[in-house]
Amino acid sequence: MINILNGIYKLTLGEPEVLTPIKLRRTSENLEAFNHLIKISSPFTDEDFKISVSQRGCTVTLPIYEEERIYGFGLQLKSFMQNGKKKIIRTNADPSSDSGDSHAPVPFYVSTLGYGILVDTARYVSFYCGSSAAKEQKSRESELGPKGTTEALYKTVQSSSSMVIDIPVAQGIDIYIFAGTDMKDAICRYNLFSGGGCLPPLKGLGVLYRGYVDADQNGILDISKALRDDHIPCDIIGLEPGWHSKAYSCSYLWNDKKFPVPEDMVKALKDSNFDINLWEQAFVNPSAPFYDEIKDHSGDYLVWEGLVPDFSILQAREAFGKHHEKLVDLGIAGFKLDECDSSDYTGGWSFPNCTQFPSGLDGEQMHNQIGIFFQDTQYELYKKKNKRTYSQVRASHALASSYPFVLYSDLYNHRDFFRALLNAGFSGLLWTPEVRQTDSAIELIRRIQIVCLSAQVCINSWMIPNLPWRQFHYEENLRGELLPESERIALTLACKKALEFRMSLIPYLYSAFWKYKTTGTPVFRALVMDYPNDIYAQEVEDQVWIGDSLMAAPIFADEGNKRNIYLPEGVWFDFETGARLIGDQWLNEVEVPIDHIPIFVKGNSIIPIANPVEWINENTQFNLTINIYGSDISSFALYEDDGYSFNFEKGMYNITELQYNHNRLNLDEGFISPMKKYIIDQIILKGE
Amino acid sequence: MINILNGIYKLTLGEPEVLTPIKLRRTSENLEAFNHLIKISSPFTDEDFKISVSQRGCTVTLPIYEEERIYGFGLQLKSFMQNGKKKIIRTNADPSSDSGDSHAPVPFYVSTLGYGILVDTARYVSFYCGSSAAKEQKSRESELGPKGTTEALYKTVQSSSSMVIDIPVAQGIDIYIFAGTDMKDAICRYNLFSGGGCLPPLKGLGVLYRGYVDADQNGILDISKALRDDHIPCDIIGLEPGWHSKAYSCSYLWNDKKFPVPEDMVKALKDSNFDINLWEQAFVNPSAPFYDEIKDHSGDYLVWEGLVPDFSILQAREAFGKHHEKLVDLGIAGFKLDECDSSDYTGGWSFPNCTQFPSGLDGEQMHNQIGIFFQDTQYELYKKKNKRTYSQVRASHALASSYPFVLYSDLYNHRDFFRALLNAGFSGLLWTPEVRQTDSAIELIRRIQIVCLSAQVCINSWMIPNLPWRQFHYEENLRGELLPESERIALTLACKKALEFRMSLIPYLYSAFWKYKTTGTPVFRALVMDYPNDIYAQEVEDQVWIGDSLMAAPIFADEGNKRNIYLPEGVWFDFETGARLIGDQWLNEVEVPIDHIPIFVKGNSIIPIANPVEWINENTQFNLTINIYGSDISSFALYEDDGYSFNFEKGMYNITELQYNHNRLNLDEGFISPMKKYIIDQIILKGE
């Protein structure tokens, strides 16, 4: 085991493969950040790891202790705490079961004992998280026995004190151990090792509205006008596949019947302060202008008749990038990288696992890496233009923390969507529980409330031409039959309230993303990350931490208007009323009106709240109310920069340390220059 | 390519593994049967197959022609025609998607062009059935493009002219080609190669009722009395896990509190003409008497704290068998071999893929083989005692045709259950769409109707103490609150009608099973097997052939009382009315009353129908009505033997050839001895 960075240890067992996530990575560690961290040593010794190697691959075992709880494995939708489970790290669209399959599975898990384990493989590695007891393990007298229901029969039970990691093909493996002062610190070190968290452009934290798939140039402009007419906050319009002359696979060329002069559309949208995001796949249609150029640098199987570029090869990235540069130059602010996951559960449309790529990667490895490669290829474009993007992607893997791409899914169960939000935080991923169709007005409101608590507020109306709050019924929306006026106004107001709340949080969120970037602290995270030894927090999967001081406990679509809420130890304040609450308790059957999201503030916090704006541009200034919760000393580091470029990397940013002390708010002298983006309107003592 | 049997060819590519289904098999081909078959040569040449080998395994490709349709891959629940799909042969409980995972996946597929391909591997082999086009394949101008729904986007399309077979680990493979005069003939040869179909004991074709899991000795006897009180046909009572002193894993010992004198219970049940079937797993609890004996002959991981025997090793089979012999001697007629499938979708409770077994098999291979091994171990017991069994099993694989074990599942979608019935017939498997809980009286009736059209009529009331027609509501049943009398009587009659219909078919079915045994012709099969070139028959997945002359088109639970029915070319008769119908047509919106199963008879058929009996014993004689459909020459081979032993193997059986010719029914002179089990009551000319 060698110590490669403060708290990070690498153990090589057997003969690892040549093509692995770490060896293929194109990002670098945030080395500087490691200097500031507490020195910490490995919780494991070499002897804790056992390996066996065979023709079918290698198997590594290491201990799990009875009291520790395991989380992670990337964007898991179906479960939260992983003890007792088998998880396979296999990229797949629409995982239908709790098998480990995911758009963004990551061979990385963390423990409440304060460490993380990264298995450096692009293979479909399986983790048996204490689910499988070895024969030689001392047998326990347990309570297993016939049960009355199938669910009870197969309820997950941790029966073993070992993590068994089964890696196909590879004849050896590099294991990376991330030690931390606690679980969150271990995750921070993983994120910093991955390059640190990403910093979205300011506009990216606003609302992304994806338009109707069949809309043409005028249709898109109509949608943009409707948004402004309804005074719904919106910063980005997303175009779905219809913009391509060929999609499934993609031409990456405008459909000139529907979009005759895209420059005009882009300009009109810019003039109304909308950015544009374009849908695309990685699969290159024969009609794409760079098809021939990329042909030799792609896999030996097609998807939807399109080439699958080997983005690990410079020529493939360049051919793809050169063409896309024109789109970026046109003013496209981001992309939605669709279907770069795989497809064992939805018709088998992707390339086979036996596909061979020129780099030597096979289909299995590529399925687990193409999401990362695709992000890297597109991100490189924007870096070159000194322009930040906040894009979408449907697949990711290890070491993704620094990519400004947000995951989404065709799945839709609301609790699963929320669970994904928490799980994403364990592995350096970002997630939007996007809002699509809803069966009721209540569902629309509740889904919008929750998407406002995530990395990206995406309202994906690809199936409907009219704004969903004007008509949530699918068929009627298609036919242009809007809700009766009074109903429409009420629904629009309820949706707007949630979206405006989001807009009011932008300075708080932007500052939290800066912290994510520089310290690795996830912006959206599970309670257990801050309270690893709290047995309730270990299981709470319907509440989310946001930044350092806010905790939200929203209501799910169609689950009524009451819920139980857990407050960990300490002092808490109701975000709206400022009412003081003592933690280490459950609030039972809390009534949650339809236009309300229960939010709690950790004791002694400062929360800057902005007057909500409808959109953000380069000149936007945020009028802030500084809410002070608790009468003790507290502080908040308010971050600002130009909001759109990488100039912050050259030090062109500003941090204002808001400090509350002896009933006074001070702006700390440490700030580099006077605030430009923020105007403090008022200071309110919310809780005492 | 070498010709190993009439119509069967073997092609060795690369260096195949040592442990494969064919190399491990303990059954033998039915060599004698091959002598009677038409000589036929391979539809492929060596050059049609391409192989590539790498560290991760090997990949074989062979052609698929545009007009051919692919079926098979074992007990597929989620799809029927397989063109354009990716199918992975991975044994799993409760496959939640159409991924290929199944209780009984089989690396064998058949084509409407009249051949079958068996890939001799126990690995999780993937078949890409024309779903993946190679880069060098000529690109087609297709109609792919953005679609309005997710389902439309991912609809399966065959885009390629190749079958791609991706075999993990193995550095080579044996491919077996089964040529036939048509698809059905190729399947027959596969079944004969597997040893021929199984012949159940006569009683096995009656009704199996699985009792309440918490019932004790008296509870079981109460259930048996209730069945007789209701005059519901029943031949076998199944005991669920509660009979074990330890279950999950199993002790294989009676729970002496609940079953103090099992001999008495067995005798009482026998006296009422009930056989007994016992639930068990392969996982050996430390309290099992042969635990120590089997320990060294089991895998290195436990399941539910139990050993996983390596049944491929003689000592494991012997230790397991020796103990079970006592149960057989006690009078146990069969077993339900539960959870011998695997568990990627239900909590991960099985052994890891990296498990090592003393034979050299690993966990992946064992998952795909343990169902076969387990069947073989238990079947051997019965053969030794010269007693036939008709048992249940939850996992199977290739070459299972001769094992008298019927598959079942915890899944429950009614259409999926029916589809499994058809698909099982492509790969030498038997299946029961067992009836468990139902939400309505209608559902109970419709489910019972359909289970009566399958290999085994299983009513699995493990969750309820009272007979389901007395109370189908779960909670009320548990509390002993029965339906109001009039409702109860009506529901009982409707269920009884379906079950009595089944009992009336027993001579017909028993004769069909004899044909299955001797010619390999599946008893229950899809229309396409008999009409491979009929484009409608190729897609009909809600009608079933039974034997040579009957086709059923039942109604599914909660799908109303109307359906469309397809009649392939030829003359047909309505089974009940004898009404003559001309084929090659759809009957649209056929009304199906709640107590009715639409059944059609192929023109010129003889159908022996028995007076339904409530149970079968050694002395049972069937009173037959011989129904003649059509006025042309027709015949039926009526099979009989003692019904319970293997003495038929020594020629102790009788076939009476019923021949209808010139308005006369003759009993053919070729019969060996006068009929003993059958009495012809009447002859009816049903259709003319």
What pLDDT does residue B143 have? 55
Question: Which residues in chain A have Cβ-Cβ distances shorter than 8 Å to B144?
Answer: 247-249, 304-305
Contact (CB<8Å) A347/B154: yes
CATH 2.60.40.1180 given to domain A549-688: yes
Mean pLDDT taken over chain B: 95
The predicted pLDDT at position A669 comes to 55
- Which of A 233-292 lie inside 8 A of B, CB atoms? 240-242, 244, 246-249, 286
- The reported pLDDT for the residue numbered A633 is 83
CA distance, residue A184 to nearest chain B CA (Å): 27
Q: Which tens digits make up the pLDDT trace of A118-146?
A: 999 999 999 999 999 999 876 555 555 66
Tell me the C-alpha distance between A523 and B406, whole Å. Answer: 53
Task: Find all residues with CB under 8 Å of B515, minimum gap 6, and list them.
Answer: B197, B521, B523, B547, B548, B637
Question: C-alpha angle with apex B657: B654 to B660, nearest 5 degrees?
Answer: 160
Contacts of A655 by beta carbon, 8 Å cutoff, 6+ apart: A514, A637, A638, A639, A640, A670, A671, A672
State residue B664's pLDDT score: 83
Sequence letter at residue B338: D
| Candidate from A135, A213, A247 with C-beta closest to B298 | A135
How far is Cα B331 from Cα B326, in angstroms, rounded to an integer? Answer: 9
| B364 part of contact set with chain A, CB < 8 Å | yes
- The β-bridge partners of A162 are A63
Preferred mutation among B301, B408, B463, B475 to probe A, highest tally of A CBs within 10 A: B301
Which residues 307-336 of A have a C-beta within 8 angstroms of B? 307
CA distance B545 to B525: 5
Tokens of A564: 């139980």
For residues B308-322, give the mean pLDDT. 97
Q: Where would I find the beta strands (DSSP E) of B575-615?
A: 580-582, 585-591, 599-602, 605-610
Residue A654 has a CB neighbour count (10 Å cut-off) of: 18
Contacts of A305 in chain B (CB under 8 A): 133, 139-140, 142, 144, 159
**Residue in A closest to B88 by C-alpha:** A344
Residue of A nearest to B308 (CA): A135
Half-sphere exposure of B218 (CA within 13 A, CB side): 1
- Burial of B674 (C-beta count, 10 Å sphere; 0-12/13-18/19+): exposed
pLDDT average, residue stretch A282-307: 96
* DSSP conformational letter for B554: P
Whether A133 and B246 lie within 8 Å, measured CB to CB = no
Contact residues, chain A, for B355 at CB < 8 Å: 132
Q: How far is A613 from chain B (nearest CA, A)?
A: 33
What pLDDT is recorded for position A674?
74
- Most confident of the ranges A53-57, A159-163, B656-660: A53-57
Which pair of tokens denotes residue B58?
Answer: 């090997």
Residue B500 neighbours by CB under 8 Å, 6+ apart:
B233, B612
**Sequence ranges of chain A with CATH classification 2.60.40.1180:** 549-688
HSE value, Cβ hemisphere, 13 Å, CA-based, for A291: 19
**Interchain CB distance below 8 Å, A98 and B345:** yes
Domain with CATH 2.60.40.1760 in chain B: 2-193
Q: Do the beta carbons of residue A76 and residue A87 sit within 8 Å?
A: yes
pLDDT for the residue numbered B45: 97
B-chain residues near A56 (CB < 8 A): 168-169, 354, 362, 364
CATH topology of domain A206-513: TIM Barrel (3.20.20)
* Residue in the structure block whose two tokens are 């804790």: A48
A463 touches B at CB < 8 Å: yes
Chain B CB contacts of A59 under 8 Å are: 352, 354
Number of Cβ within a 10 Å radius of residue B472: 25
Beta pairing, strands A236-239 & A207-210: parallel
More confident call, A282 vs A661: A282
Nearest CA in chain B to A127: B352
B56·A146 Cβ contact <8 A: no
A chain contacts of residue B99, beta-carbon cutoff 8 Å: 344-345
Among residues 91-120 of chain A, which lie with CB inside 8 Å of chain B? Answer: 96-99
Mean pLDDT of A66-92: 96
Q: Do B299 and A145 touch (CB under 8 A)?
A: no
Which residue did the predictor score with more confidence, B491 or B148?
Answer: B491
- Residue of A17, A138, A301, A462 best to disrupt the B interface, most CBs of B under 10 A: A301
**Chain B residues close to A159, C-beta within 8 Å:** 302, 304-305
With an 8 Å Cβ cutoff, is B50 touching chain A? no
- Contacts of residue A42, defined as CB under 8 A and 6 or more positions apart, other chains included, come to A1, A3, A9, A177, A179
The partner residue sitting opposite B348, judged by closest CB among A131, A137, A346, is: A131
| DSSP assigned state of A455 | S
User: Chain A: nearest CA to B268, how far in angstroms?
Assistant: 25
- Using the beta-carbon criterion (under 8 Å), do B168 and A164 form an inter-chain contact? no
User: Domain B2-193 has what CATH class?
Assistant: mainly beta
Interface list for A 124-163 with B (CB within 8 A): 126, 128, 131-137, 139-140, 142, 144-150, 153-156, 159
Q: What is the pLDDT of residues B624-670, one digit of tens each?
A: 999 999 888 889 999 999 999 999 999 999 999 999 987 788 876 55
Average pLDDT over residues B374-387: 98
Single out the residue of B439, B442, B443, B435 nearest to residue B459, CA to CA. Answer: B435
Taking only the tens place, the pLDDT of each residue in A555-589 is 999 899 999 999 999 999 999 999 999 999 999 99
Inter-residue contact B540 to B564 (CB < 8 Å): no
Task: Tell me what pLDDT residue A227 has.
Answer: 98
Q: Is A168 on the interface with B (CB under 8 A)?
A: yes
Q: Does A412 touch chain B (CB under 8 A)?
A: no
* B-chain residue closest to A95, CA distance: B97
- Measured between CA atoms, how close is B612 to chain A, in angstroms? 34
Phi and psi, residue A472, nearest 5°: -90, -20
The conformation of residue A334, written as its DSSP 8-state character, comes to E
Q: What is the largest CA-CA distance in chain A?
A: 74
Find where tokens 């007009």 sit: B67
Contact flag A352-B128 (C-beta cutoff 8 Å): yes
- What is the band of B473 on the pLDDT scale with cuts at 50, 70, 90? very high
* pLDDT above 90: residue B311: yes
Give the pLDDT mean for A246-252: 95
Q: Do B154 and A352 touch (CB under 8 A)?
A: no
Residues of chain A with CATH 3.20.20.80: 206-513
Contact B353 A166 (CB under 8 A): yes
How much is the pLDDT for A662?
78
Which residue in B134, B139, B159 is closest to A300 by CB distance?
A: B134
Picking from A128, A299, A354, the nearest residue to B164 by CB comes out as A354
B126–A352 CB contact, under 8 Å: yes
Distance in angstroms (rounded) separating the CA atoms of residues B315 and B298: 10
A578 CB-contact burial (10 Å; exposed 0-12 / middle 13-18 / buried 19+): middle
| Residue B336 bridge partners (DSSP) | B279, B392
Q: Which residues of B touch A347 (CB under 8 A)?
A: 84-85, 98, 154-156
- Mean pLDDT for the stretch of residues A344-372: 96
Percent of chain A with pLDDT over 90: 91
Reference B198, options B617, B620, B646; nearest CA is B646
Q: Would the CB atoms of A135 and B346 count as touching at under 8 Å? A: no
> What ipTM was predicted for this assembly?
0.94
Closest CA to A555 of A505, A506, A595, A601: A595
Specify the pLDDT at position A146.
62
The closest CB to that of B146, out of A128, A213, A353, belongs to A213
Maximum distance among all Cα pairs of chain B, rounded to whole angstroms: 74
With a CB cutoff of 8 Å and minimum separation 6, the contacts of B337 are: B280, B281, B282, B371, B374, B375, B378, B391, B392, B393, B394, B395, B405
Q: Among B501, B500, B502, B524, which residue's Cα sits nearest to residue B512?
A: B524
Q: What is the mean pLDDT of residues A328-349?
A: 95
- Which of B53, B54, B73, B97 is most worth mutating to test chain A (most A CB atoms within 10 A of its CB)? B97
**Do A479 and A229 form a contact (C-beta atoms < 8 A)?**
no
What one-character DSSP code corresponds to residue A37?
A: S
Q: Where are the beta strands (DSSP E) in B408-512?
A: 457-460
Q: Kindly tell me if the per-residue pLDDT of B155 is higher than 80.
A: no
Contact by Cβ (8 Å): A124, A92: no
Q: A–B: how many Cβ contacts below 8 A?
A: 203
Which residues in chain A are closer than 8 Å to B353, comparing Cβ atoms?
126, 166
- DSSP β-ladder status, A599-602 and A550-552: antiparallel
ω into A249 cis (within 30 of 0): yes
Contact criterion met (CB < 8 Å) for B97 and A96: yes
